[in-house]
Structure 1
Amino acid sequence: MNLFSFPISRTNYAIDLISARMHDFKIMETIVISGTPRSGSTWLMEILESLPDYKSVFEPFHPNWYPEFRKLGIHYDPYIPTPEDYPKLREYLGRVFTGKAYGMFPYKHYLAPGRVLKRLTANKLLVKFVRANTMLPWVANTFDLRAVYFIIRHPCATIASQLVTGYFSRITKEQFLDEVRKVSELAGSEWLMDKLSGISSQIELLAAIWAFENYIPLASERPYPWYTVIYERLITDPEEELDSIFGYINEDVPEGARKRLRTPSKVTRKTYGKTYIGTPKQLIKWREKLTERQIDAILEVVSWFGMDFYGNEPEPDYDALKNWRPPF
């Protein structure tokens, strides 16, 4: 933490507090975005934030930024079965979705004058998570939200970005296995559990976490109570995908969304730059960052979950992803 982190964090907290006292945020107007770390969720958040009345709530499951969440004692990214109830978590998320949870994040770009003005004047919320995929079905079925967006990205691209930026999961192998065992259909596969128990490298663990965090939403009952954004399609067919994303909530595409589509997210531009954003090179950057052995290991682990719609190609098999069903 540098010298300026604390005052920046306190100022961001104060802005959220003032905003909550100025507006009556309603759950039925709140939009949620969920994805794994480095899946493009921040980029999607910034695109949707072009809606004039919306401001973002950034990572309310981050224990260092949200003291109220830290007090719940919920560890990283737990699996939450859809039919069950979790009163403390439900109460906390109710506060998040109505603007009553205040973040102490140390990002000074949130203090730019235009950003502060929107944070104070916007009367609707856009809440972004990278720690909610394994509870996304529960969240979507528990709260009467305006919309939920789930974003998925190639596991090799996601993990390459995690390794480069350091935004990867801190969950241990033992914690991960404990969560998998809570999912009866996965725990019931002795073959899968043996494979997962034999994981011996960081790359394999990151691949298994990616697979699990995306398996839970994709294995949910259809029709899904969310819109699935495929990161690669947002790159290769941006205009049509923007129409679909905003059409899901019956909104026209704001002009600002098209501009943000060509701009890397705040958490990406310092590491990767922006020269390849919005070009085909963006989809193959992971081939420069990972070795062949790492790529093979990632794809093999993901295949254990039957998620073979991603392979060596930069884009998924879109039909296979659309029609995918859990193998267990």
Structure 2
Amino acid sequence: MWRLGKSEHPCFISGSPRSGTTWIMEVLARISYARVHWEPINWYLYELDHDRLSGDQNWMRPDAEILAGDDDYASEFRRTLSGSAPRRPAMARISELSQFKNMMRLLTAGRTIIKFVYAQRALRWLKNNSSAKGCIILRHPSAVVASQLHHPYHKAGHANQHPEWTVEVISRVHPIYSDEDLSKFPQINDILSWDLSPARKLAVTACLDLLSSISDAELRQSYTFAVYESLVDNPNNFLKIAQALGLPVVHQPTIETLRQRSRTTSSSDKGSGAKRLEDTERAEIQRIIDAFGIDFYQADGSVNIQRLSERGFSHLVA
């Protein structure tokens, strides 16, 4: 049933894994009565033969290199971004489908929010291949890594470390970088020579996610960028994102709306961020941030909005 009714005005939300994208998607869906496609087209969820790809990194990033090298994947990407539902039910994890009102939303909603992580790595491709409006979530790398390493993963009633961020997977997959990254950010070569702990490896990936989206002046003018830290307990900033994405506001957001538990986090987790890190982990991550020359994220977990704004964004929600 969810395949019925193509949306004429799709938009997307993206950011690093554990940067708050699911929570933000859910809040926007509640206030706009939009249907959602949750992680429909990420490479690591895409049901294709991966053997022809070299390296474990490739299964976690839908960047321009993969999109340019796989016509089927690129075609599905374009189709979903045009407002159509993904072709395969396994690739369309529709939020709260068990509730009748949300089942009806899938049939009647005129807007669709597509949420997927790692779009920063393909933002240039997205601009050249889709007219969909998008919002990129910017969150302090320390908070992103803290959530990846220390946020409990609930399965069958038990809390465990998330399977994507076990030490074994981190050592095999991260840091995630491309040949283009090596040419654009030469400091990577020096960083890779360090003794990289799991926290440092994840921090390199998080910093490259960030820099991939904000280092291109044209992209800064083409999309909306939202500072995660400015969204916690601030309903008005969700109204700004909705307006930028062309989403109607059917229900005014409230503090209670923002504090509702999402599928990936609890109401008490949204502002905790880097507080879950050990002091040594926090220092390691900050060294990575400094090595990349990112000067607007402070060691105490705060964001210097003025420095960030100086990079020249057309629409920065902060």
What TM-score does the superposition give when structure 2 sets the normalisation length? 0.78
Determine which of 180, 183, 189 is the counterpart of 2:181. Answer: 183
Pairs within 5 Å for 1:185-224:
185-186=183-184, 189=186, 191-222=187-218, 223-224=220-221
- Structure-2 residue corresponding to 1:91: 75
Determine which of 222, 229, 233 is the counterpart of 2:230. Answer: 233
* C-alpha separation in 1, matches of 2:41 and 2:273: 29
Q: 1:121 to 1:178 in 2, by over 3 A?
A: closer
* Structure 2 unaligned spans of 5+: 152-161, 313-318
CA RMSD after TM alignment:
3.3
1:155 maps to 2:138: no
Q: Percent identity?
A: 20
- Structure-1 residue corresponding to 2:157: none
In the TM superposition, residue 77 of structure 1 has moved relative to its aligned partner by: 0.8
- Structure-2 residue corresponding to 1:3: none
Structure 1 runs (4+) greater than 6 angstroms displaced: 68-73, 81-85, 105-108
Cα deviation 1:104-154 (Å, max 9, x = unaligned):
278894323332222233243211011322112321332011x10100111
In the TM superposition, residue 31 of structure 1 has moved relative to its aligned partner by: 0.6
Number of residue equivalences: 291
Q: 1:121 to 1:179 in 2, by over 3 A?
A: same
Pairs within 5 Å for 1:1-328:
18-20=1-3, 22-26=4-8, 29-50=9-30, 52=32, 54-62=34-42, 66-67=46-47, 75-80=59-64, 87-97=71-81, 98-104=84-90, 109-145=96-132, 147-165=133-151, 166=162, 168=164, 176=174, 179-183=177-181, 185-186=183-184, 189=186, 191-222=187-218, 223-235=220-232, 238-250=234-246, 253-255=249-251, 257-258=253-254, 259-269=256-266, 274=267, 276=268, 282-287=270-275, 289-324=276-311
Q: 1:70 to 1:192 in 2, by over 3 A?
A: closer
What TM-score does the superposition give when structure 1 sets the normalisation length? 0.76
In the TM superposition, residue 96 of structure 1 has moved relative to its aligned partner by: 1.9
In the TM superposition, residue 293 of structure 1 has moved relative to its aligned partner by: 0.6
* C-alpha separation in 2, matches of 1:141 and 1:285: 34
Moved more, 60-69 or 94-103: 60-69
* Structure 1 unaligned spans of 5+: 1-17
